[in-house]
Chain A
Amino acid sequence: MPSCEDVVEFRFWSHLTLRLAATFLLLFLFFFSPLYVVSGNGEFTAGIPAKAQLEAEWSIMLTDEVGEIEIRYATPFIEWMDERDTGAYEILDEGGETPTAALNWMRGLLVMCGIGTFASLAHISTWPRYKGPRLFITFWLAGLLLIMLGLPGAIWLDQYDALGAGQLPVEEPVPPREDFLHFTIASGLRLSWAGLAVDFNASGYDRALIDEENRTAAEEEPPGEKHHSYIAFAGTVTAGPTRYFLWWLLLPLVIVDRLFDGA
């Protein structure tokens, strides 16, 4: 027969193991999934590539970033690329690595918050009533703020030079002015379930589709919407936490009994 002390000890360790295991599981699920995602989708509404649909997703993972592009109904888009005179302007994007210094800092802080929530459970038996979960909740809230504000802020800092002062990381994509003449864009920022969303309608005259001898004239006077260089695109860009954010939101459930203990 186990003694009373043994039973108490057993229950205590069972509780702690259970909490630690649940916390570890939730943190594991969260950190090995995309943390934050910037996605865009839209459709060409006028011009040669009309009806082609673009969808792009840029996900921030714990260690790196992953991008995916999908072009559906791609044939008009391929025909557009084929018709373009790529010598019409300088290629601005040289590709290669993107700066991620601020993002890496933010990732590190987020991991520390995760470790903090885990480590704070070790002293759960010594937590005084009502004040006990404070440390755990502090780390959890800090992580929440980092995900909601820190990550988009870090993206903005990293992309600051590319975007230009005053632009948000979810600003609508603006092609280089050299590519599209008389480029106009109408957009509206709104909050959505996915986070911040920008709806936009963009149009312009593809310089690469205009004959070389007419380019100067086209720069001064738009050739008109019936000209084959006229391209229009409508779409939405969203930025926000992914659905895996739920794992972080569920963390307080691990100490839910202590939150209301004695209340």
Chain B
Amino acid sequence: MRQLVVLFSCLMVLLPLSHVHAEPETIVWWVEYDWTEADAAADSLAGISIRKLVEKIEDAAESTEIELDIQYSLDGKSYIYSQHTDGGTETVRGGNGVHYDTEVRVTDYAIRHATKETATAISNWGDNKASFDVTASASSTQTVIIDLRVSEYVNSDLEIVMIRGESSGDLSIEGAVKADGFIAGKDDRIDFVNARVDYQASTGWSDFQLTWIPDTPLALYGSLGEVQEGESVRLECSYYTNYNNRSLQSCARIEGSYSTSQSYEVTATNIPAGALGLSDYWQKITISDSFTQEENFEANFSESDYYHKAGTGMLNLSGKEREVAFFESDVALPFGLIPFFSLMPLFDSFEGTEESIGNGTQREIEDVQRDYDEDKDRLIPIIEDFQYSTFEREFGRMMERFEEEEINPKLGDYRVRYLFVYDAASSRFLMPTATYAGSEQGEFPELDLGEEIITGSEGHFVPGLKSGYSSDSGQFEIVRLMQTAQDIMGTQEELDEETMISAPSWLMVSLLCGFVAVLRRRG
């Protein structure tokens, strides 16, 4: 959680400020990505795609006795929306104890992401010692829902007196792995009939509140407006140093609170329990847990950052051309993604569990290996049958054939620069940009995402990527209301096979109909 606070604080320092004298206005910038285009994008950018990989694996299998048919699909959408609005005026107490009349500048972020991957593999092989014929399928849905509001309190001298952040979010993954078929040795056989493992895990937080108060009001925006191209502004807490041209004290006090919740559930149904050392009748095993935590925190901000003015450009907003500057920063992430990545430390609370599960798994594997060495007869003889069969040789041939296939991604050396667009007229950061520069050998195409975002794109450079900005908050509200994977992907919830009426139930319904018919006839 400490990392979260620090990274959150970094974000706050980078956040846009409104010029107290600027006209009230709403600015929305957005980036959307359609994951159905991901394969095409990877193909056009790097010359490699999952479809091509699957084809090559299938081709490699074709040259052996192993039959393999793989189907793969990826669907989903990502939305990163930011909205700047003016939040009125307020008197706040600064870190130096002085009360300031401030204008409140509100920046809302709505981050929504949902992807669903499905894969099916049909595979069979056999010789006189061992064989298998398995149809396996897997699906997985990842969902990210993050809301973040940052309110900046800026005095009449364009100094940051206080920044307040509020956030809630939820990260979840759910999916299933299903298998039908059999694995057989000479005398033993393991059958999979509607065997499946369902899993679900989520972590979320709510009521995350953070207050960042610099010891003295921070004149960051005034400084940014004054530096020339090639110069930098540096924030430093502990000491004052002549870094290039300008350096600012940014010591601050941070305090806040949050509550988090995590949960997981794994359910195995129709598993071949006998083969796993359990009694055959164990058909369903469920493991679940959930945690909640509420914390208050208090810290001193002592990080340092720099902003390097990399260039200038023109931006057309609400029909008005305005000059903007590009700043590079220590934090090489677009604004919208900073909270996303900064929230990864929330998984800290899982670390103990992950570690224990990981260690446990490793120990179990070692135990199995030891048992196998000590007493092979007690273990599943099928493994031995496969070892004596020609499977390993066939599989080796398949892998050799696969390696012979030419898979040469066109990725050469490339450089990514993350920039922030700074509007000098209103003294605010407007949006992040990224620029990819290809190598001189240059098979990787040069892209200027910065240009895409500033001019608004429709996937010209990267298939599936759209971006833009406007002064209309309608679309922002639509995105903010998305709360489920179905909302985000724009799909209807699929009818779960388990909710369908089963065959015996149909018989029941028929009997009831017959019963009613007899009654009616009697009447």
Interface residues of A (CB under 8 A from B): 11, 14-15, 17-18, 21-22, 24-25, 28-29, 32, 58, 64-75, 78-79, 81-82, 86-87, 91, 93-98
Contacts and interface: CB of A to CB of B under 8 A. Distances in A.
Contacts of B289: 72-75
B518 A21 contact: yes
B518 A14 contact: yes
Going nearest first, the 8 A-B pairs with the smallest beta carbon separation are A82-B360, A95-B277, A65-B281, A68-B284, A67-B282, A70-B286, A67-B281, A14-B522
B287 interface: yes
B367 interface: yes
Nearest to A82: B360
Contact of B356 (A78, A96, A97): A78
Nearest to B267: A70
A134 to B, nearest CB: 26
A68 B283 contact: yes
B356 A69 contact: no
B277 A21 contact: no
Given A32-B504, A68-B284, A96 B274 contact: yes
30 contacts: A14-B522, A18-B515, A18-B518, A18-B519, A21-B511, A21-B515, A22-B515, A28-B507, A28-B508, A28-B511, A29-B508, A32-B504, A67-B282, A68-B282, A68-B285, A70-B287, A71-B286, A71-B287, A72-B288, A73-B288, A74-B287, A78-B353, A79-B353, A82-B357, A82-B363, A87-B367, A95-B274, A95-B278, A96-B280, A98-B279
B273 interface: yes
Given A25-B512, A28-B508, A81 B283 contact: no
B123 to A, nearest CB: 27
Contacts of A72: 288-289
A74 B357 CA distance: 11
B360 A81 contact: yes
A66 B269 CA distance: 11
A74 B287 CA distance: 6
Contact of B353 (A65, A67, A71, A75): A75
Contacts, number: 102
Contacts of A15: 522
Contacts of A94: 277, 378
Interface residues of B, number: 39
Given A11-B522, A28-B511, A67-B283, 11 more contacts: A14-B518, A24-B511, A25-B511, A29-B508, A75-B353, A78-B357, A81-B360, A82-B359, A86-B364, A97-B279, A98-B279
Contacts of B518: 14, 17-18, 21
Most chain A CB within a 10 A radius of its CB, from B273, B276, B288? B288
B514 interface: yes
Interface of B: 273-274, 276-291, 353, 356-357, 359-360, 363-364, 367, 370, 378, 504, 507-508, 511-512, 514-515, 518-519, 521-522
Contacts of B522: 11, 14-15, 18
A17 B518 CA distance: 7
A70 to B, nearest CB: 4
Contacts of B277: 91, 93-95
Contacts of A66: 281, 283-284
A69 B519 CA distance: 43
B284 A69 contact: yes
B286 A95 contact: no
Most chain B CB within a 10 A radius of its CB, from A18, A74, A78, A91? A74
B280 A98 contact: yes
A69 B515 contact: no
A72 B289 CA distance: 6
Contacts of A69: 282, 284-286
A95 B514 contact: no
A64 B360 contact: no
A97 B360 contact: no
Nearest to B290: A73
Contacts of A71: 286-288
A22 B512 CA distance: 9
Contacts of A17: 518
B370 A87 contact: yes
Contacts of B504: 32
A95 B512 CA distance: 42
B488 to A, nearest CB: 30
Nearest to B521: A14
Contacts of A96: 274, 279-280
Contacts of B367: 86-87
Nearest to B371: A91
A78 B287 CA distance: 9
A244 to B, nearest CB: 13
A228 to B, nearest CB: 15
Contacts of B274: 95-97
Nearest to A22: B515
B281 A64 contact: yes
